[in-house]
């Protein structure tokens, strides 16, 4: 082998071997053919044979390289599928074992003081400190028991969806309410416990939190279904506070007319009214109506089918299995990007795309903000949220709920049957976005809950006393001790509608005083030596005092707009900062820092469209068999705030997209009248037309 002088100047063009080694791959073919022909290959036939041989070898090399890439891609896809299946399996196991995990769950949904009715002495209420986690409610005694080594007596209540229920109650004697406040009942394993809150708003927040903490049931139901099953009204009635009351009243009236219709004209004239007046109804309310119908049917017919089984919620594992099958044959629009389940590992792409959108939207909202970065949603929780959203809107569930909502309205066993349309359904739609209206909407749990040690006194006391304060759902509680849990309650006050003011201390330079003047006039003063801490507490108290963190009506939880705030929070904080002599340019930064958790919240909107036909019970095999076509849209909203998902109301919005014409109506009348004349009965068409809304 010849030696190479490292100091010599190499002429790359003069060396075929070096030229072949250093030349880019794209030009290898032409250079190889020109520089590596066999000696004596001068004839055209020999050159052609050489070109064919080289071309075949080149194709083999490229094919081998392509096969290696395909194998690597398939391996990566299989690894992703295994990884995704493992994630879904772990999430299902977590949900099934939530009541066993209990105190080991680091994520606490809610905590704060509540009063619990004594089971020994009637009329006695004892203060407990309550902690709420997924699948577990834990409460502690207010005082340390003797010979307990400083430990608080603790009790755990497993919140299994199938074994517990929660509802608001009134405690009265001889028709007179004997307890001041708002109470609710929690039944766990047939054991009844009564809890007392300071206000109806606080009770609503605790009941919502308990509903969302329940495990073991469907992941897709709004917690209202369990903690407030009659939110929109009892069976056959409408609650006047329901946000859907007008649609529900219309629904009941149209339903009654359709069920009692005797002819095609009676039926179609009523259904035509829905062409110009779409209806939107909550699924929960429909379930109540179906429950009433199934109860009546079971009394009249022991062999009748239980119609409420249509809304049966399957277990988590079965739901995920069905979800995978649905995704394989469906299409989903995720933030306007279309994914098809039957094209190249579609289900994996759908779940991955939704989780990726959740993470990216969360990071976009918190990027560059040190105050909000800790509220960004991690990848592990993003997959859990993606699973829950897809389970809620999958075609089997959304289509089934839409069908039974329409069937409950339009069914008439003597005239028609409801069938799904053969037309291809529109893709499911999911939109992930920041909750830009977070400051205008109520929170499902108070995002302004605070706790910490502060010095305090009332108007009568002269000295400052150190107490541990807990602000929870509009109630400010002060304790003697904070460990292991707050206990030794020394007082409580409702902050709603209170007047908040700040000032510099007149007794000691560099200190500050925050005063709270509630409606009952029992003032409370808080002492601070840190300006930032003072403003943080002032902001949280102002939000509660102005009513921004407490829902006032049952339907406020359904992601609706809040009532008008008496005074803008920014104006209040500006006034406080001016009182302290701070510059206005610091106001915006303070608001961003104090409202960091609220600004990091996200909203997901999911919808699924489907179409159904109302077909005659006596088909003739032509277009006249279809009396009407109804388009339905199943919808649900979700709110994410980093460590929990809150489900909004499930609704079905439907309208009549096509209905039989007047000619069809007259033809139907002629047939009905002809049949009626045979039995000796005849009525005028005008007299048969029902009057509807």
Q: Which helix (H) or strand (E) covers residue 282, if one does?
A: strand 279-282
Percentage of the chain exceeding pLDDT 90: 15
Q: How far apart are CA 313 and CA 220, in angstroms?
A: 8
pLDDT digits (tens, 9 = 90+) for 571-592: 888 888 888 887 766 666 676 6
pTM of the model: 0.66
**Domain 450-599 falls in which CATH fold?**
PH-domain like (2.30.29)
Instruction: Kindly tell me if the per-residue pLDDT of 235 is higher than 60.
Output: no
Q: How far apart are CA 602 and CA 389, in angstroms?
A: 13
Answer for the pair 639, 606: CB distance below 8 angstroms, yes or no.
Answer: no
CATH class as words, domain 101-217:
mainly beta
- Give the pLDDT band (50/70/90) at residue 51: low
Scanning 546-661, the segments in alpha helix (DSSP H) are 569-579, 587-594, 596-599
Q: Which helix (H) or strand (E) covers residue 183, if one does?
A: strand 182-188
Q: How far apart are CA 635 and CA 633, in angstroms?
A: 6
- Give the pLDDT band (50/70/90) at residue 465: very high
| DSSP letter (8 states) at residue 412 | B
How many CB atoms are closer than 10 A to CB 365?
20
Q: How far apart are CA 293 and CA 313, in angstroms?
A: 19
- Give the pLDDT band (50/70/90) at residue 164: confident
Average pLDDT of every residue of the chain: 74
Alpha-carbon distance values, 404 to 221, 225, 324, 398 (Å): 16, 17, 23, 10
Contacts for 656 with CB less than 8 Å, ≥ 6 apart: 271, 272, 274, 275, 628, 629, 630
- Give the pLDDT band (50/70/90) at residue 630: very high
What pLDDT is recorded for position 172? 74
What pLDDT is recorded for position 332? 92
Average of pLDDT values for 32-47?
51
Average of pLDDT values for 15-35?
41
What pLDDT is recorded for position 324? 82
Instruction: Kindly tell me if the per-residue pLDDT of 319 is higher than 50.
Output: yes
Instruction: Kindly tell me if the per-residue pLDDT of 565 is higher than 50.
Output: no
Q: Which helix (H) or strand (E) covers residue 633, if one does?
A: strand 626-640
Alpha-carbon distance values, 166 to 138, 184, 671 (Å): 16, 7, 55
Q: Tell me which of 46 and 408 has the higher pLDDT.
A: 408
């Amino acid at each position: 082998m010849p030696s190479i002088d490292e100091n010599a100047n190499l002429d790359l063009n003069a060396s075929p071997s070096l030229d072949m080694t250093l030349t880019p791959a794209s030009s290898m073919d032409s250079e190889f053919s020109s520089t590596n022909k066999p000696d004596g290959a001068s004839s055209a036939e020999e050159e052609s044979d050489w070109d064919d041989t080289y071309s075949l070898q080149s194709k083999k090399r490229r094919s081998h390289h392509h096969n290696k890439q395909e194998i690597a891609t398939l391996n990566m896809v299989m690894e992703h599928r295994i990884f995704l299946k493992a994630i879904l399996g772990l999430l299902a196991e977590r949900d099934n074992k939530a009541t066993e995990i209990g105190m080991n769950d680091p994520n606490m949904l809610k905590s704060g003081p509540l009063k619990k009715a004594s089971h020994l002495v009637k009329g006695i209420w004892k203060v407990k400190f309550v902690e709420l986690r997924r699948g577990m409610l834990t409460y502690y005694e207010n005082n340390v028991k003797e010979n307990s080594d400083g430990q608080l007596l603790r009790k755990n209540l497993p919140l299994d969806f199938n074994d517990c229920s929660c509802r608001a109650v009134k405690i009265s004697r001889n028709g007179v309410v004997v307890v001041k406040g708002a109470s609710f009942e929690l039944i766990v394993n047939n054991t009844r416990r009564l809890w007392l809150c300071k206000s109806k708003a606080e009770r609503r927040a605790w009941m919502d939190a308990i509903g969302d903490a329940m495990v073991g049931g469907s992941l897709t139901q709004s917690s209202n279904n369990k903690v407030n099953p009659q939110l929109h009204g009892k069976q056959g009635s409408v609650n006047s506070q329901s946000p859907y009351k007008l649609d529900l009243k219309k629904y009941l009236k149209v339903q009654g007319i359709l069920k009692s219709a005797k002819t095609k004209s009676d039926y179609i004239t009523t259904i035509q009214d829905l062409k110009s007046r779409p209806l939107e109804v909550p699924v929960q309310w429909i379930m109540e109506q179906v429950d009433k119908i199934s109860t009546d049917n079971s009394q009249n017919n022991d062999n009748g089918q239980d119609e409420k089984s249509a809304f049966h919620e399957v277990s988590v594992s079965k739901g995920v299995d069905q979800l995978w099958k649905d995704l394989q044959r469906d299409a989903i629009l995720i933030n306007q990007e279309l994914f098809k389940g039957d094209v190249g590992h579609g289900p994996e792409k759908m779940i991955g795309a939704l989780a990726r959108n959740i993470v990216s939207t969360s990071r976009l909202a918190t990027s560059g903000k040190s105050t909000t970065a800790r509220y960004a949603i991690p990848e592990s929780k993003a997959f859990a949220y993606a699973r829950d959203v897809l389970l809620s809107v999958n075609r089997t569930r959304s289509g089934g709920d839409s069908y039974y909502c329409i069937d409950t309205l339009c069914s008439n066993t003597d005239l028609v049957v409801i069938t799904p349309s053969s037309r291809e359904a529109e893709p499911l739609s999911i939109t992930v976005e920041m909750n830009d209206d977070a400051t205008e909407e109520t929170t499902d749990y108070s995002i302004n809950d605070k706790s910490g040690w502060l010095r305090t006194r009332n108007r009568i006391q002269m000295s400052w006393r150190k107490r541990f304060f807990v602000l929870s759902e509009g109630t400010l509680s002060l304790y003697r001790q904070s460990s292991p849990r707050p206990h030794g309650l020394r007082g409580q006050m409702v902050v709603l509608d209170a007047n908040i003011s700040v000032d510099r201390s007149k007794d000691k330079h560099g200190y500050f005083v925050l005063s709270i003047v509630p409606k009952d006039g029992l003032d409370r003063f808080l002492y601070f030596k840190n300006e930032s801490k003072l403003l943080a507490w002032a902001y949280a108290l102002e939000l509660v005092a102005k009513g921004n963190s407490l829902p006032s009506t049952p339907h406020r939880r359904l992601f609706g707009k809040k009532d008008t705030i008496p005074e803008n929070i920014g104006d209040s904080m500006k006034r406080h900062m001016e009182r302290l002599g701070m510059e206005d340019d610091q106001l915006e930064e303070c608001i961003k820092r104090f409202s960091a958790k609220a600004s990091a919240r996200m909203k997901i909107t999911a919808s699924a469209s489907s179409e159904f036909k109302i077909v005659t019970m006596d088909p003739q095999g032509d277009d006249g068999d279809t009396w009407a076509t109804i388009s339905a849209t199943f919808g649900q909203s979700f709110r994410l705030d980093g460590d929990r998902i809150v489900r909004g109301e499930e609704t079905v919005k439907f309208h009549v997209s096509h209905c039989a014409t007047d000619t069809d109506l007259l033809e139907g009348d002629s047939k009905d009248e002809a049949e009626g004349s045979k039995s000796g009965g005849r009525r005028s068409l005008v007299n048969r037309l029902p009057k509807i809304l």
